[in-house]
Structure 1
Amino acid sequence: MDINTLKILLIEDNSADADWIGEILIEEHLTKSKQASPQVDLKHVKRVQSALQLIAQNDFDVILLDLSLPDSQGIDSIAQVKQEAPELPIVVLTALDDESIAIQSVRQGAQDYLVKGRFEGELLIRSIYYAIERQRTEATLRQQAEREKLMKKMSDRIRQSLELKEILNTTVDEVRHFLQADRVVIYRCESDQPGEVIAESITLNFHQAEESIVLNSQNLFHQLSANLEQFNLELAKAQAVQAIDDTITHRQDDIYVLAESQIRAILTLPIWQTQSNQHLQTKADFGTQLRNELEKHSVLTTNSVPVLFGAKQEKIEQFKPSSLLQEPSAVVSRRGSFDQLWGMLVAQNYHHPRQWQNWEIDFLQQLATQVAIAIQQSELYTQLQIANRQLEQLAILDGLTGLANRRYFDRILDNEWHRLIREQKPLSLILCDIDYFKAYNDTYGHPEGDRCLQKVAQILKTAVKRPADLVTRYGGEEFALILPDTNAEGALVVANFILKQVRKLRIPHQASEICNYVTLSIGTATKIPNSHLVVEHLVKMSDDALYQAKKQGRNQIIQYQTCC
Structure 2
Amino acid sequence: MTDGVPRILLIEDNANDALAIKIMLESADFPFKLEKAETLKSGLDILSKKQIDAILLDLGLPDSKGLDTFVNLFDEYPDVPIVMYTGLEDEDIAVKALQKGAQDYLVKGKVDSKLLVRAIRYSIERHRLRVELKRMSTELEKSETRFRDLIERSSDGILIVDSDGVIQYVNTAAESIFGRKSNELIDESFEFSFEPGETRTIDILRREGETVKAEMRVMQTELRDSTFYIVDLKDITEIVEHVEEKKILREMTLRDELTGLYNRRGFYTHAEHIIKVSKRNKDNMILFFIDVDNLKSINDTYSHQSGDDALIDTTNIIKKTFRESDIIARFGGDEFVILARLVKKSLGEKLSARFKRNLNSHNRKNIRPYKLSLSVGVAQCGSKPNISIDDLLKRADESMYKQKQIEKNHE
- TM-score (structure 2 length as normaliser): 0.45
Structure showing the higher strand proportion among its residues? 2
| Larger-gyration structure (1/2) | 1
